[in-house]
Structure 1
């Protein structure tokens, strides 16, 4: 399981990094075309906004893998170790359900719906860019299962070491 977590984390780090580098390059291109060439590049601005959404969702999946998502530690710290483990598992189950219902199911629905719409500047179906929703939903679900296994095995640590 640790090997799967490490592979997913490395892959997400690379994808998020490539997305960030592409955003920087495209933003520099926008500035160059707008102020130097006096002919703004509308396609690059649109692509940057989609890449930003992808990078944000991929980053959210990375956080899920590290168990760094929102929590209220003051409540959990006031109960015993057994209850902490139970609350940790409950939190992961809620994240799993959210990922399954909102990101995977809802993401598939919106992606299919948006396949008929084209982006204004790129001329690509909008649904292609929405594919990140179910993709990150599946990644989150995998991570939450791995997190539950780690909680059952190791306890209630909030962040994964070496992830």
Structure 2
């Protein structure tokens, strides 16, 4: 992020996206706590009661998918995802600015593809129930679809912010 973009006060859209990312982090953290509780219960019932419930594995997978997906979306919002900054720093300023816009646009495209295909897979398996739990078989694609949409939204915001300094420097 450039110094110019960092000094611009956050507008209502940025504050809303910040709150959305905070909600994603809170849900991901809650999912991790839930995962620990469910797995703890599964271990207790298996080794102490010798009667392991069948619902713990699908619920654990859903909680893991939720934590991973929403955590990844929040990582895109805070620009803490995997990237190659050394290449960008060695380029001339025009190419660096172009890359600063192209990189989040590529991330947005990947997020849109994840959201779209996960939604297709979610809808495709809604009528099939998971063995041992009264949930649709495709429920694990719900957090993936939501996080794909969030990744797309957050990346488009980063691309927009990368374009803004060019306009503000001329003002």
TM-score (norm 1): 0.87
Q: Does residue 22 of structure 2 align to residue 10 of structure 1?
A: yes
Counterpart secondary structure, 1:128:
coil
User: When the two structures are aligned, how many residues end up with a matched partner?
Assistant: 154
Partner Cα separation in structure 1 for residue 30 and residue 149 of structure 2? 21
The 5 Å alignment of 1:69-88 reads: 69-88=81-100
Note the residue ranges of structure 2 that are not aligned, 5 or more in a row: 1-12, 167-171
Larger Rg, first or second structure (1 or 2) = 2
Structure 1 residue 154: deviation in Å?
5.0
Partner Cα separation in structure 1 for residue 57 and residue 116 of structure 2? 29
TM-score (norm 2): 0.83
Deviant stretches of 4+, over 3 Å? none
Partner Cα separation in structure 2 for residue 36 and residue 154 of structure 1? 61
Q: Which moved more, 1:78-87 or 1:25-34?
A: 78-87
Q: Does residue 88 of structure 2 align to residue 66 of structure 1?
A: no
Counterpart secondary structure, 2:69:
helix
Note the residue ranges of structure 1 that are not aligned, 5 or more in a row: 156-163
The 5 Å alignment of 1:1-163 reads: 1-101=13-113, 103-154=114-165
